[in-house]
Amino acid sequence: MSLLSPVNSIRIEPLRCLRIEHFHNECSKCIDLCPSDAIGLSTSRRISLNSTKCIECMACIGTCPTETLLYPDFDPSVFVLQTGIKKDFMLSCKNNNICLSALNSENFISLGLRHHSVSCDMSLCHECNMNLDGKAVLAINEHINEANRFLQAVEKQHIVINKEQNKLSRREALFSFAKDVNTLRNEESFDQLFDPKETLPRSRAVFQNSIKLVIEELPEGKIKENFSFMSHKKIDFASCDNCGECIQFCPTNALIYSSDKTKILFQPLRCIACDICDDVCKQKSFSSDNELDIVTLAFNRAEVLIDHHFAVCSECRVSFPQKAGETICKRCESFVRNNNNLFTLARDVKL
């Protein structure tokens, strides 16, 4: 299901939104970034778009972790793919007919991995009427800086920002941009590369593909950096009760059970750092560290976060995840502890 305004071109896929995935999720990235206050929440807490306020800056597209907001004439992942590989590439709203605010950190990383060098022309950004309150420039700089931290960690060339003046008008750039991208989509059918049933965002799939293209050039070992778009999860063995709610609510299936449901597996590539698993875990068993393994990301490998041994409870005869040789499950233990006086015989009551 999608929502399409008859006036503007931004489209919303509400079922992708993290607020729909988990009712208590408070993600507000698109709302906070929107320079014209066109994005808000409906009474049902769904993302809504005021078409009369929207200026189509596309900054919301570049900040949404689940690609809930879409622009029919432009797909950032398709754009990255159609730029090719192994070039000295200039990214510009004048030459490539694209507003840089529509690209997220992963898009910039993918461009950096796929090309010999990448330069971003931001000469028109500060005077652009879409850069209200400087929010678009702030978002672009944050995404490029984060991309450069990743590229530095894997010893690839940094993305360079160019602020020299250029005379091409913004209106001319946007008109040409829509025309050129439509032509690319029709001729090359990039959309066919993506599985419509896949929960992994397109930008993450291109990110993975870009790493695989240059995997032999990258250093071995782990990246020890924190990124806003991905985190490496840990589960505390002592507190986890294997309830499975983290698996049920994970929007990208980064957390899955083993076939016998004794292990919880984690695929770092699929994690979008939404922290829903942290929120739903009643035992507060989740934590994160800043280690990302390049090979694991490139080949979408899964790792075992926790491996439970199950025993049969001596009271209720139901299996439970045993921690340290217990013979009774936590539910029965709590009941016995709180209600043991119910079974005290009258002759044993001390007056």
Give per-residue pLDDT as tens, 144-195. 999 999 999 999 999 999 876 544 444 444 444 444 444 444 444 555 667 7
19: its two tokens: 């607020």
**Residues 49-58, mean pLDDT to the nearest whole number:** 88
* Burial of residue 168 (number of CB atoms within 10 Å: 0-12, 13-18, 19+): middle
- Rounded Cα distance between 118 and 201, Å, is 23
* Tens digit of each residue's pLDDT (9 = 90 or more) over 207-243: 999 999 999 999 988 999 999 999 999 999 989 989 9
The residue-averaged pLDDT of 196-215 equals 92
Residues 246, 70, 197, CA angle at the centre, nearest 5°? 50
The domain 222-307: what is its CATH number? 3.30.70.3270
Q: Beta strand 11-12 with 69-70: parallel, antiparallel or unpaired?
A: antiparallel
| Residues in the chain, overall count | 351
Residue of 2, 127, 129, 147 whose CA lies nearest to 62: 147
- For strand 291-293 and strand 222-224, is the pairing parallel, antiparallel, or unpaired? antiparallel
- Residue 329: helix, strand or coil by DSSP? coil
Closest by CA position to 134, among listed 33, 60, 29: 33
Put simply, whether the predicted model's pTM sits higher than 0.75 gets the answer yes
Q: How far apart are CA 122 and CA 164, in angstroms?
A: 8
Q: Tens digit of pLDDT for each residue in 329-343?
A: 877 877 777 776 665
311 pairs with which residues across the strands?
320
pLDDT value for 172? 43
The answer to whether 158 and 147 have CB atoms below 8 angstroms apart is no
d(CA 258, CA 254): 13
Residue 30 φ/ψ, nearest 5 degrees: -70, -40
Q: Looking at 189-282, list the stretches that DSSP marks H as alpha helix, in order from N- to C-terminal side.
A: 202-213, 245-249, 276-280
Q: If we measure between CA atoms, which residue out of 179, 181, 159 comes closest to residue 90?
A: 159
- CATH 3.30.70.3270 range(s) for the chain read 222-307
Q: How many Å separate Cα 40 from the centre of its chain?
A: 20
pLDDT of residue 200: 92
Question: Mean pLDDT throughout 128-134?
Answer: 82
Dihedrals φ, ψ of 39, to 5°? -105, 135
- Phi first, then psi, for residue 4 (nearest 5°) are -125, 120
A 10 A CB-CB count for 235 gives 20
User: What's the pLDDT at 178?
Assistant: 46
Q: Which residue has the tokens 């035992």?
A: 283
Instruction: Report pLDDT digits (tens) over 266-295.
Output: 999 999 999 999 999 999 999 999 899 999
The pLDDT of residue 214 is: 95
In the block, residue with structure tokens 């209600």: 339
90-118 tens-digit pLDDT: 988 877 677 899 999 999 999 999 999 99
Q: Dihedral (C-alpha) 46, 50, 55, 59: value to the nearest 10 degrees?
A: -10
pLDDT given at position 341: 63
CATH architecture, domain defined by 1-72: 2-Layer Sandwich (3.30)
**H runs (alpha helix) in 70-217:** 76-82, 105-114, 135-153, 170-188, 202-213
Task: For Cα atoms 16, 98, 71, give the angle at the middle one, nearest 5 degrees.
Answer: 30
Within the chain, all domains assigned CATH 3.30.70.20 are found at: 1-72
